[in-house]
Amino acid sequence: MVLSKKLKQRVGILAVVFTALMGFGSAALSDNHERAIGANAGDACVKDTSWMRRNHMELLKHDRDRTLRQGIRSVEGSIKGCVDCHANKDEQGHFISVNAEGEFCSGCHSYTAVSLDCFECHATKPDTQSTTARTAK
């Protein structure tokens, strides 16, 4: 009985410390986002920002299968959509890769030490006029 009381106390302390850490983490994340939210980003993402911050990978994972395997293209979780909104432009007006240092995707991913494999294959910049012009015969 006494032991379990002590245990409860310890769990309580741990919970307080953990919550504080999480709060610190969120504050740091939001700072990052304000710096590099993206050139075309509007007021809101496809879902609430705090939801997106934690669950964007789930949205992308399920919708990628729907798009690729079933051909359903009207999905919320499109990585093309991420890049279209969240890519920043440099002083010359050229898009910067979303996975470049300090940019929208890599900002959080390097902070949280989560590897970012999407851009091993996916385009890191929105399709621009110049790439479209190149496809013209």
Binding site for another protein (CB under 8 A): 64-66, 68-74, 80, 83, 120-124, 126-127, 131, 134-135, 137
CB of 66 to another protein, least distance (A): 7
CB of 4 to another protein, least distance (A): 46
Nearer to another protein, 113 or 121 (CB): 121
Sole residue written with tokens 């798009």: 67
Helix axes 2-35, 104-112, angle to 10 degrees: 150
CB of 112 to another protein, least distance (A): 21
Nearer to another protein, 7 or 57 (CB): 57
Nearer to another protein, 34 or 120 (CB): 120
CB of 70 to another protein, least distance (A): 4
Q: Which amino acid is at 124?
A: T
Sole residue written with tokens 């986002």: 33
Nearer to another protein, 10 or 94 (CB): 94
* Of 42, 47, 40, the residue nearest 63 (C-alpha): 47
Instruction: Concatenate the DSSP letters of all residues of 60-84 into one string.
Output: HHHHHHHHHHH-----S--HHHHHH
Alpha helices in the chain (DSSP H): 2-35, 49-70, 79-86, 104-112, 129-135
